[in-house]
Amino acid sequence: MANLFNRPFNVVEPSKGRFVSILLFGLFIFLFLFIFKPFGFNQLKSDQQLFISFGFGLVTAFMLIIFKYLLEPVITKRNWTLGKNILWDIIVASGIGVANYFYMTLIFHQGLVIKYLFFAIYTAILVGVIPVTISYIVLLNRLYKTALKEAAIVPEDILWESEVVIRAGNSKNEVRINPKNIIYVCSNDNYVTIVTMKGDAQNKTTIRGTLKSAESELRKNSRFLRCHKCYIVNLDFVDRVTGHNQNMRIRLLPSGTEIPVSRFKADLVVKRTKKS
């Protein structure tokens, strides 16, 4: 069981899909309260039931946006496991419980009562078990289907030149190098830095030029990927991909250097690294 919770858990969920999940979660809370009328809801008038239930759904969705879009990308950067993800879901549910409690005190003009606050947290975790369990089932099913698709993918043709000349658009530059030794290439203003592996050491060579020109000069080598406006990486040096679309990073071997990924390139990065 301990091994199960310690398994790496790194699922890149598209921003659109995450937002839809949040809306569905808020809708579930609204419908659950309005239809089943737990916690004394049946003692309220029909219009109050509708208004208050809808408010709980909105508060839930608002808190999920804060957790999923602002906090989660920071918290789940690296070494994320299934156990940590379950604990994080409990923390999120607790935060929703706290927010819903203060919403309730505002609606009914009540003061802060600690035992009721803890009861609200307990209730949020208990009610949240249903949609969270469904989301895990959907997620695992999606991962299973993705694995089946990947099993049927024909490996890409790997093309390498024995030597590449990088001038980065400046005829005064000329760096001759075996492209297999390039870890990544990055740009800074009007300069391009080529980071290479030589034996057990990394070397950096900086020349004047543009990354666009360097990318064009590497185009005959299929293992290079432009993942960001300032970075090109060699997929053979990729250790793993972490984070979500808005905070995705590529960790490179052997030093563990982390390269940012443009959110517009996130899907391509996931696809290309899974083929590696």
- Asked which of 121, 151, 181 is the last residue of a domain, the reply is 151
pLDDT at 10: 66
192 has which bridge partners? 187, 207
* Residue 171 within any structural domain of the chain: yes
* Residue 253 within any structural domain of the chain: yes
CA distance 212 to 207: 14
Instruction: State the CATH number of the domain containing residue 205.
Output: 2.40.50.1020
Question: Does 49 share its domain with 133?
Answer: yes
CA distance 141 to 138: 5
pLDDT at 120: 93
Residue with tokens 């089946």: 148
pLDDT at 122: 93
Question: Does 8 share its domain with 144?
Answer: yes
Structurally, the chain folds into a number of domains equal to 2
* Residue 156 within any structural domain of the chain: no
CB atoms within 10 A of CB 149: 10
CA distance 266 to 250: 10
Cα distances (angstroms) measured from residue 47 to each of 52, 53, 131: 9, 10, 26
CA distance 18 to 61: 11
Question: Does 20 share its domain with 103?
Answer: yes
Residue with tokens 């009007």: 190
Question: Does 101 share its domain with 181?
Answer: no
* Residue 60 within any structural domain of the chain: yes
Question: Does 134 share its domain with 173?
Answer: no
Question: Does 83 share its domain with 176?
Answer: no
CA distance 236 to 227: 14
pLDDT tens string, the chain, 276 residues long: the values are 566 677 777 666 666 778 888 999 999 999 999 999 888 888 888 889 999 999 999 999 999 999 988 888 888 766 778 888 889 999 999 999 999 999 999 998 889 999 999 999 999 999 888 888 888 788 777 766 766 665 555 555 667 888 888 887 777 778 889 999 999 999 998 899 999 998 888 999 999 989 999 999 998 898 999 999 999 999 999 999 988 777 899 999 998 999 999 988 988 998 888 766
The H or E element spanning position 204 is strand 201-208
225 has which bridge partners? 233
Q: What is the pTM of this model?
A: 0.57
| Contact between 26 and 53 (Cβ < 8 Å) | no
Alpha carbon 273 to its chain centroid, in Å, reads 15
pLDDT at 86: 87
Residue 223 backbone zone (phi > 0: left; psi -120 to 50: alpha; other: beta):
alpha
Cα distances (angstroms) measured from residue 80 to each of 12, 159, 215, 243, 250: 12, 34, 33, 9, 15
Range of the domain at 192: 164-275
What angle is formed at CA 102 by the lines to CA 97 and CA 106, rounded to 5 degrees?
145
- Asked which of 151, 185, 208 is the last residue of a domain, the reply is 151
Token pair listed for 213:
């020109």
* Residue 81 within any structural domain of the chain: yes
Angle between helices 46-65 and 82-108 (to 10 degrees): 140
* Residue 92 within any structural domain of the chain: yes
pLDDT at 276: 61
* Residue 256 within any structural domain of the chain: yes
CA distance 211 to 226: 9
